[in-house]
Amino acid sequence: GPGHPTGGWWDALVGPGRALDTSRWFVVAPNVLGGCQGSTGPASARPGGGRWGPEFPYLTQRDQVAAEAALADALGIARWAAVIGGSMGGMRALEWAVGRPERTGSLLVLACPAAASAEQIAWGSVQIAAIRSDPAWQEGRYHDAPAGGGPYRGLGIARRIAHVTYRSEPELGTRFGRGPQPGGHPWRGGRYQVESYLDHHAAKLVRRFDAGSYVTLTEAMNGHDVGRGRGGVAAALRRVRMPALVAGVDSDRLYPLAQQAELAAAIPGADRLRTIESPYGHDGFLIETAQVGALIEELLSQA
């Protein structure tokens, strides 16, 4: 669509004859609350004038699911045949299954934990710090700054940090090794190939995303805990009795496979952990569409 020169990550999974077969199923992919491309977020206009900026409220995954439930109500959907998600989408899928089991017909959770770990919070926190340390952040009040005046350097650094956690060390080594970028040696002002790769992804994100939304959504991921206020993780997961599949990526160093093993063992509706084999680390849940598609088809065969 406009502003998106390429198809979505799961473009190969959604459509007529694909795993999420739109000739059979209605597919709803809500824009996440707190984002910057359709839903209300820090860059959005607020009642009375101006932008939300730093006054935008702190959000949890549970808040985001409450917004999705309101959308389902508006659409007249009393119960989903399946709720499917990976990473932050997996966190929200878990919240649907735990908080609204009567509205969740089946569940597929990919590459996410029951609760964010200390290390995951640490990775998120340094990304937030990178953005907030940019002088152009202006305590979050930068949205009405002149063009080019936002905290783009901090946002680019945050994206570089995140992207390293999304991929695996063997994949980076195989693709780039210690090779210099053609045309410039790192010892003489040039870059390593892997630096160029991170710079490229930083530049792509900065052109299309808002730093305030990045902070809001990262804080929501850091705050993820499906057991909060529910007697702990184990008690919360015992509510998930609908058919469920839990899968992780064998090379994921951001949300390691052991966290999905915990989910599979604790969810009554799940039979066993499913493993996506991929060299691509956490991003494997986005890239390995054939393996993810087979999981979706298995889940929907029970719907």
Please give the pLDDT value at position 122. 98
DSSP state at residue 248: E
What number is the average pLDDT over the span 31-38? 92
If one counts every other C-beta atom within 10 angstroms of the C-beta of residue 189, the result is 7
Predicted pLDDT at 223: 98
Q: What is the pLDDT of residues 225-268, one digit of tens each?
A: 999 999 999 999 999 999 999 999 999 999 999 999 999 999 99
Q: How far apart are the first and last CA of the chain?
A: 30
**Active-site residue flag, 168:** no
This prediction's pTM: 0.95
Q: Is 87 a catalytic residue?
A: yes
Q: Which H helix or E strand runs over 219? A: helix 211-222
Give me the catalytic one of 87, 106, 251, 278: 87
- 31: its two tokens: 């824009």
148 band by pLDDT with thresholds 50, 70 and 90: low
Average confidence (pLDDT) over 75-88:
98
> By three-state DSSP, how is residue 302 classified?
coil
Q: Strand, helix or coil at 235?
A: helix
Q: What is the mean pLDDT of residues 85-113?
A: 98
Active-site residue, from 143, 252, 278, 283: 252
Task: Map residue 225 onto helix, strand or coil.
Answer: strand
Report the distance separating Cα 130 and Cα 159, nearest Å.
10
Instruction: Give the pLDDT confidence of 160-205 residue by residue, as tens digits.
Output: 999 999 999 999 999 999 999 998 899 999 999 999 999 999 999 9
Q: Write the DSSP string, 54-83.
A: GGSPP--HHHHHHHHHHHHHHHT-S-BS-E
Angle between helices 152-166 and 118-132 (to 10 degrees): 160
Q: Which domains does the chain have, with CATH numbers?
A: 1-30+79-115+225-303 (3.40.50.1820)
Does residue 73 have an active-site annotation?
Answer: no
39-78 pLDDT, tens per residue? 999 999 999 899 999 999 999 999 999 999 999 999 999 9
Q: In this predicted model, what pLDDT tens digit does every residue of 119-135 receive, in sequence order?
A: 999 999 999 999 999 99
